[in-house]
Structure 1
């Protein structure tokens, strides 16, 4: 079961990165062009929000089932960079990134001015994108 969840988690990572990229680019162009923020723009913001939340749920389940996750959280694991990445850094940074995506989308719904709505999405999604890229376990993900 852990292997299947790990494959799902890896596959969803591609969807999350693509969704955040689409949302970010579209919001950036929307802000720069000065167009009005409409229903289509709100739905495009969901391209980054929904996959990231699904990924978070799968990641939390995997964190408690995998031997690299919660069960590996100890003082000895903190001295090993790979163990620390899987047990602490990757989960915490990605939880923060998903929180930023959620905040950016929620703010965009509440703001009145279109430019500020677009700006909320591209700024929060952009920061989250950088955080996610910084904590992907590239050595395991590309194999």
Structure 2
């Protein structure tokens, strides 16, 4: 089960990263060029929200089925925190990805309350852009290549 979930989580991550990039740049361009907020912009923001939440659910299943999770019992907190690989997979990556999903959710929710295009794009640009930075900071790049 672990290998199947890991495979899905790894490949779905490309979709998530692509959508966060698209949504962030779409919002920045819309804000900078004073574009009118349209149904397409709404769909991009919504689809980004959906794929990140799906990735979070897959990640939660992966976290509890991974061999790294068993290291909490074997090594203890001190042992996990002392090992950079264990710390990345058990603490840093999961925590920061949850932060990124929270940022995306907050940005999506806040942008819906705005009445005009410029504030909508600004809100999305800020929250989705921060989420992009968070995601890029804690992707286990060695596992990607």
In terms of fraction of residues, the more helix-rich structure is: 2
Unaligned runs of 5+ in 1: none
Mapping of residues 10-21 of structure 1, within 5 Å: 10-21=10-21
Aligned residues: 141
**Residue 71 of structure 2 is aligned to residue 72 of structure 1:** yes
Listed one character per residue, the Cα deviations across residues 52-75 of structure 1 (whole Å, up to 9, x for unaligned) are 111000000111111113x32322
Residue 95 of structure 1 is aligned with which of 92, 95, 98?
98
TM superposition score normalised by structure 1: 0.94
Q: Which runs of 4+ in 1 moved over 3 A?
A: none
Deviations 1:61-101 (A, max 9, x none): 111111113x3232211100110000000000000000000
Structure 2 CA distance for aligned equivalents of residues 25 and 111 of structure 1: 19
Question: Which consecutive unaligned segments of at least 5 residues does structure 2 have?
Answer: none
1:36 maps onto 2:36 in alignment: yes
Cα deviation digits, residues 96-136 of structure 1 (max 9, x gap): 00000010111111111211101111111111111111111
Q: Which has the higher contact order (CA 8 A, sep 6+)?
A: 2
Task: Report if aligned partners of 1:21, 1:48 keep a CA contact under 8 Å in 2.
Answer: no
TM-score between both structures, scaled by the size of structure 2: 0.93
